[in-house]
Chains A and B, each alone.
Chain A
Amino acid sequence: MWKQIEGSRAVAETVAMCRPQVICAYPITPQTHIVEGLGEMVKSGALAGCEFLNVESEFGALSVAIGASAAGARTYTATASQGLLFMAEAVYNAAGLGLPIVMTIGNRAIGAPINIWNDHSDSMSMRDSGWIQLHAESNQEAADLHIQAFRLAEELSCPVMVCMDGFILTHAYDRIDVPLQQQVDAWLAPFEPRQVLDPAAPVSIGAMVGPEAFSEVRYLAHHKQLQALDRIPEISGEFLEAFGRESGGLLRPYRIEGADTIVVALGSVTGTIQEAVDELRADNVAVGSISICSYRPFPLEAVGRALSDAKRVVVIDKSLAPGLGGMLATDVQMALSARRQRVYTVIAGLGGRTITKASLVKLFLQARADALESVTFLDLNWDLVNRQLSREMATRRSGPAAENILKDLGALPSKI
């Protein structure tokens, strides 16, 4: 059913339709509207057969989820940024134990400096925890991916993160087709655990494993991610059949045929990139783009194939790897390890800095002229940076860097 609603609300309604049995969450911007929505649905009885726990920290949240999932309940939680880091120990624990928890990440920058706006540093910090990570391009896809996530997680006994850009998606009102309960019921079977805490058949879960077996257990985790590479496109196909729209999958190409320059990105910036591509293509500039949906497992082969005919690749990376470049870019380069394309890493959108179509058009033209450094920071205010660097050279007690830069910024025209 078509609705004009907030992205968070669409996610809440869709998750509710998946009939979760335990929801636990600790509030953190920008995920709050999702859990508030679900909490209300449980309290009012609209979502029945579900226990909603208000927990004391994110670490508590994922821990409750671990217990609930191990006891055979379909379990859901959500977090972002600092919260994801606070539950880091539990994140690895859940994956290691093979518990099919589904968790929404409202992608938000990690501090210091504290910042509530969007970038990908949070989910990136957990990219090798063993969770599957799916990125939504739009609010429609964010809602749809949760349905796919429960199926994927429970089949493989592997937890899944659905990542959606904080504020840009979570707080935007969009035209969204929210599925009907019957549709979801027909598509998503009840949870049948591979392992469960049940007095009728006692098992011990969470044993210590020493050098004699640890590698093998870890190999199986690696194997699971490889299995996911096959299942993710299949599940996307199954979703298309039942719900009638494209959603999920490993990656989505856009006008890459004959493109000499291909742009790679995760998440909502894809929409703006596609607009920039259209503008350039209208001028016969051969640019295309791919957006990666399955970031973990990273579709090395599919990315390699999609980029194989391009002369150069531009990665729009919302996750800085300080001293190195970009986290997404590093993985993309691995997909191209046998090739001869030039790869340009463009660090953009950190801490919610807007990425405009105009900037992208300019950037892509520079890339095509091979006039870019291998690592670029898009729209960086070099004046601010240089002022701070000179300040630090001039005196030892130069004070907190962030505060100095903000003071400088106050004197300059405001920038969105």
Chain B
Amino acid sequence: MVSAAEMLSIAAFLEGRYAQAFPSFGSERMGAPVMAFCRISDRPIRLREPVTEPDALIIQDPTLLHQAGLFEGLQLPGGYVLINSSRSIDELGIGSYVGDHAVTVAATELALRFVGRPLPNSTLLGAFAAMTAELRLESVLAAIRQKFAGKIGEANAAAAQAAYELISRSDTREKIHVEAD
């Protein structure tokens, strides 16, 4: 998850914005989720604390869904939720927690198809770009290529693009608004 946050920050950087990405710092107890954070802004970022009231939440591991407090602090209405799952929001039964801007994408499966490994980070970023329109697809792809060199970078970028197109075409697209920072 850490590299996803880093790539997000690189994508934002490539668009001339300020960004800060960092892993969670705090005791990692058994069963507690591993978290990474990213802040994107048009002004220099001085704050140095974890994000407790996210505008967007990306959940890479759907088994965490029954974790209490996972959606705590999510800015609703308007906050985005992106979940790595082949089931829909309704099928997951979490509709009441996640507001109107929640989307699932089978990122692991896409990653397996394009990259050959079940590592969904880049794929999720492609979906994120489509869902929030916070970042352009080209920026996300460039960030992925910067993080992963050569053929691996290309494969990850392809997976991200596929996820982007999937989300752009889906029904939920109409419910998404672009939120200014």
Q: Which residues of A contact B (CB under 8 A)?
A: 2-4, 6, 117-118, 165, 167-168, 171-175, 268-272, 274-275, 352, 354-357, 410, 413-416
Contacts and interface: CB of A to CB of B under 8 A. Distances in A.
B52 interface: yes
* A-B pairs with lowest CB-CB distance, top 5: A271-B46, A4-B13, A172-B22, A173-B21, A167-B25
A4 B18 CA distance: 9
A118 B25 contact: yes
10 contacts: A2-B13, A167-B22, A168-B25, A172-B20, A172-B48, A173-B20, A272-B46, A354-B26, A356-B52, A416-B50
Contact of A357 (B13, B26, B44, B47): B47
B48 A168 contact: yes
A410 B31 CA distance: 11
A357 B52 CA distance: 11
**Which of B19, B47, B48 is the most central at the interface, judged by chain A CB atoms within 10 Å of its CB?**
B48
B52 A416 contact: yes
Nearest to A267: B48
Given A4-B10, A410-B29, A354 B23 contact: no
A269 B10 contact: no
Contacts of A352: 25-26
Given A173-B19, A271-B46, 12 more contacts: A2-B13, A118-B25, A167-B22, A168-B25, A172-B21, A172-B48, A173-B20, A174-B19, A174-B45, A352-B26, A354-B49, A414-B69
B24 interface: yes
A2 to B, nearest CB: 8
Interface in B2-35: 5-6, 9-10, 12-14, 18-26, 29, 32
Given A4-B13, A118-B25, A352-B25, A414 B48 contact: no
A167 B23 contact: yes
B23 A173 contact: no
Contacts of A356: 49, 52
A172 B39 CA distance: 11
B46 A275 contact: yes
Given A272-B48, A416-B52, A171 B10 contact: no
Interface of A is mostly: mixed
B48 to A, nearest CB: 5
B49 A175 contact: no
B25 A173 contact: no
Interface of B: 5-6, 9-10, 12-14, 18-26, 29, 32, 44-50, 52, 69
**Which of B5, B9, B10, B49 is the most central at the interface, judged by chain A CB atoms within 10 Å of its CB?**
B49
Contacts of A272: 46-49
A138 to B, nearest CB: 8
A167 B49 CA distance: 11
A275 B44 CA distance: 11
A175 B50 contact: no
A414 B69 CA distance: 9
Contacts of A4: 9-10, 12-14, 19
Nearest to B5: A173
Contact of B22 (A168, A269, A274): A168
Contacts of B48: 165, 168, 172, 268-269, 271-272, 355
Contact of A354 (B5, B6, B50): B50
B181 to A, nearest CB: 15
A175 B18 contact: yes
Nearest to B32: A414
**Which of A173, A270, A357 is the most central at the interface, judged by chain B CB atoms within 10 Å of its CB?**
A173
Nearest to A165: B48
A175 B19 contact: yes
Contact of B24 (A174, A355, A416): A416
**Which of B18, B26, B29, B45 is the most central at the interface, judged by chain A CB atoms within 10 Å of its CB?**
B26
